[in-house]
A and B are shown apart, each in its own frame.
Chain A
Amino acid sequence: GAGVSQSPSNKVTEKGKDVELRCDPISGHTALYWYRQSLGQGLEFLIYFQGNSAPDKSGLPSDRFSAERTGGSVSTLTIQRTQQEDSAVYLCASSPQNTEAFFGQGTRLTVV
């Protein structure tokens, strides 16, 4: 595709359920980032991939959060045993090394 694609665009889940969020970066982009934005808040860094490895996982808020990237392409962010405070827009961005970042439209997660 022409841009960063995220799916689903919206997800409503019950508290305690697991969710998987997917990011398809722009082809050839080596760097991939996950961020989240809670209502009325700024962007919060979660994790950064360079290729398939994650040199910086410092933003993952708890061990319920994990992410992987396969084939240097698609990435999945998994949230286990979701809590209401996990409700946010989860944004993915990709970039070639050290250049402009391109953002997806985000996944709006609502935990009820």
Chain B
Amino acid sequence: KNEVEQSPQNLTAQEGEFITINCSYSVGISALHWLQQHPGGGIVSLFMLSSGKKKHGRLIATINIQEKHSSLHITASHPRDSAVYICAVRPQGKLIFGTGTLLAVQP
């Protein structure tokens, strides 16, 4: 079993829909990261969380440390949000990555 599990693996949405991507992990962590990777592009850090909730524009990330679970929400989704979204956890030092969620937002 992977230490970081994401769901769904693939997600297709219509423009304007509310999107949720989930991440569950099995190790103790000091922080959790949400990353975005566009096709052929580099990786961009969206959020780093150790507790609670963070919001940046249309993106919201939450984490429940007790349940070892985090969610990334996208409100009013747009085709430019199409990318791979990756959850990563930091136990000590290194980052451990989930396999990513491929999101396609159709106009």
Q: What residues make up the interface of A, taking CB atoms closer than 8 Å to B?
A: 31, 33, 35, 42-43, 45, 48, 50, 55-56, 91, 93, 98-106
Contact = CB atoms under 8 A, between A and B. Distances in A.
A91 B94 contact: no
Interface of B: 30-31, 33, 35, 42-45, 48, 86, 88, 90, 93-100
Contacts of A100: 33, 45, 48
Question: Does more than half of chain B's interface fall in helix, strand or loop, or is it mixed?
Answer: strand
B30 A91 contact: no
Given A43-B86, A91-B43, A106-B42, A101 B95 contact: yes
Contacts of A43: 86, 88, 97, 100
Contact of B33 (A50, A91, A101, A104): A101
Contact of B43 (A31, A48, A103): A103
A41 B48 CA distance: 23
B94 to A, nearest CB: 4
